[in-house]
Structure 1
Amino acid sequence: MKDIAFIEIAALIRERFGDGVAAADDKRLIVEPPRLAEVAAFLRDDPNLNLDYLSSVTAIDHKTDFTLIYHLYSLTKNQRLTMRVPVVDRVSPAVPSVTPIWRGADLQEREIFDLFGIEFSGHPNLKRLFMWEGFPGFPLRKDWVNRGP
């Protein structure tokens, strides 16, 4: 599996969507949340990239903000890409859903919503997956405190 160079991908994204959508260095590709769904569709549909498989989506809590990490693969081109999406709003964190682009994001976005409280706008069925409805908080947040007996 060949890694796609982050700087090359960022240049393609900027060429297609303009400045301020993606940034990169030799260690990471960062995509801004408002354009996530558009960029994801581009990464999937561009014939030179064909990143047609989403292996995983996960979240990281940095205490002041969150980062979403997307692991993407092209099964036909034998290439992979890791994309980061910063989520700076801790009070009402939200990003567009990529479930319409990669169906495999469905349960993973629900898991992140349930455990971190990050909303995925446009998700077809965004509800808690592990915790019950009405559970007080998000147990994988670093600021969550067990409110049990």
Structure 2
Amino acid sequence: MSIAEIKSLLIEKFGEGVVVGEETTGLQPALLIDPDRIADVCLELRDNPQTYFDFLSCLSGVDYGVEAGRFGVVYHLASIPFQTQLTLKISKENGRDLENLPSFPTISSVYRAADWHEREAFDMEGIFFEGHPDLRRILLPDDWDGYPLRKDYKTAEFYKGIKID
């Protein structure tokens, strides 16, 4: 299926508001999805016999920068039987306050691999995934301050008395 056919399928199933845009330039065209509907969209794309995107190959958190005040998540789906790939993107504006993390629905109930991918996005960018079964740090210690892949992250000089280079 082409990206246009997938877009039509999603609009027919969920209505006009589910696809909020598309990126057609570059090597990986992407559908921009309403963040609140991402789990429903992924479930449909996985279970629909026309698409059967059975594999979440990558999920990445994105910090669009201090000026943009926007965070997002990029999903790379693959259909092994159909040998096709699809990129989905979601994003929303959010202040950079560490007490009010950007929040998106989890897709860990759709793709088991999302469990660890979402934990990494939480750990590195501070993106919260609503409904995640075990959202906690995966790469850094539990008491680490901040999120190292944010554009405004300042590296600490010391951690527990040990100098950090």
Q: Does the alignment reach a TM-score above 0.5?
A: yes
Q: Secondary structure at the match of 2:16?
A: coil
1:78 to 83, 93, 99: 83
Q: Which moved more, 1:60-69 or 1:114-123?
A: 60-69
Q: Which amino acid aligns with 1:65?
A: R
Q: Which amino acid aligns with 2:32?
A: I
Match runs of 1:28-47 below 5 Å = 28-47=30-49
Two-structure CA RMSD over aligned residues (Å): 1.5
Question: Is there any run of 5+ residues in structure 1 with no aligned partner, and where?
Answer: none
Does 1:99 find its partner at 2:99?
A: no
Q: Which amino acid aligns with 1:148?
A: E
Q: In the comparison of the two structures, how many residue pairs are matched?
A: 146
The residue number in structure 2 matching 1:136 is 145
Does 1:111 find its partner at 2:111?
A: no
Does 1:18 find its partner at 2:11?
A: no
Contact kept, 8 Å, 1:7 with 1:29, in 2: the verdict is: no
Q: Which moved more, 1:23-32 or 1:67-76?
A: 23-32
Identity %: 36
Higher relative contact order (CA 8 A, sep 6+): 1
- The structural deviation recorded for 1:24 is 2.4
The residue number in structure 2 matching 1:68 is 73
Q: Secondary structure at the match of 2:140?
A: coil
Counterpart-to-counterpart distance in 2, 1:138 and 1:105:
19
Contact kept, 8 Å, 1:57 with 1:105, in 2: the verdict is: yes
Q: Secondary structure at the match of 2:88?
A: strand
Contact kept, 8 Å, 2:63 with 2:151, in 1: the verdict is: yes
The residue number in structure 2 matching 1:87 is 92
Question: After TM superposition, what 4+ stretches of structure 1 lie above 4 angstroms from structure 2?
Answer: none
Question: Is there any run of 5+ residues in structure 2 with no aligned partner, and where?
Answer: 159-165
Counterpart-to-counterpart distance in 2, 1:105 and 1:115:
15
- The structural deviation recorded for 1:103 is 0.5
TM-score by length of 1: 0.90
- The structural deviation recorded for 1:25 is 4.7
- The structural deviation recorded for 1:147 is 2.9
Counterpart-to-counterpart distance in 2, 1:125 and 1:92:
17
Counterpart-to-counterpart distance in 2, 1:8 and 1:86:
23
- Which has the larger Rg? 2
